Structure 1
Amino acid sequence: MNDNTFNALAHEQRRTLLLDLLESNPQDAGIESLTGESVLTDAEQRLQTGMYHVHLPKLEDYGYIEWNEETNEIIKGPQFDEIRSLLKFIASEGVE
């Protein structure tokens, strides 16, 4: 384990995405409105902006994901196995 591992898991959005990938590969990078409206709320827009400009690029740089920006598809990256056991532990403990 290295600093990238802890950094990747430090933020809830990154941790949730990695846990989701553990269960189901691939994932959709998009965010849908929680209110059912076709327009995102301000809070949802901030979440989406953070995901696209901070979290996804960081996880991709670490090699934990591969992100296709055109299709919004995320798959496990070449370094995903480095954090698999830690993700399994987090999932088993119900930590998010």
Structure 2
Amino acid sequence: MLADERRQQILFSLADDPSPTTPGSPPDAGGSEIGVRVAQYHTHLPKRADHGFVRWTPEENVLEEGTKFEEIRPVLELLEEYRE
């Protein structure tokens, strides 16, 4: 769940500010960030949502803490402490 840095970043952002947010727009055109956006929209966010760590509504592109977010908060805090 936390092996990929982009997946970690999604969770770190929610740990810092748990209010509902927009994680970025879904991919719709070419560009240097297209691969990152495609992976976020089709892989990273759905995986976090499937495991209950986030609640993500793709139609509205709203992201918030999921029902199991508190289970991973201690791990996120530890990772953040030793991030460098």
Measured against the shorter chain, the TM-score band is 0.7 to 0.9
Aligned residues: 80
Higher helix share: 1
Q: Unaligned stretches of 5+ in structure 2? A: none
State the Cα RMSD in Å.
Answer: 1.7
TM-score (norm 1): 0.75
Decide which structure has the larger Cα Rg and report it. Answer: 1
Partner residue in 2 for 1:36: none
TM-score (norm 2): 0.85
Task: Find out whether 1:64 has 2:57 as its counterpart.
Answer: no
Task: Find out whether 1:30 has 2:19 as its counterpart.
Answer: no
Partners of 1:82 and 1:23 lie apart in 2 by 15
- Deviation above 4 Å: which 4+ runs of structure 1? none
Partner residue in 1 for 2:34: 45
Partners of 2:65 and 2:2 lie apart in 1 by 15
> Identity, % of aligned pairs?
34
Q: Unaligned stretches of 5+ in structure 1? A: 1-7, 32-38
C-alpha deviations, 1:45-94, integer Å up to 9, x for none? 1111001111111000110000011221100000101100010111122x
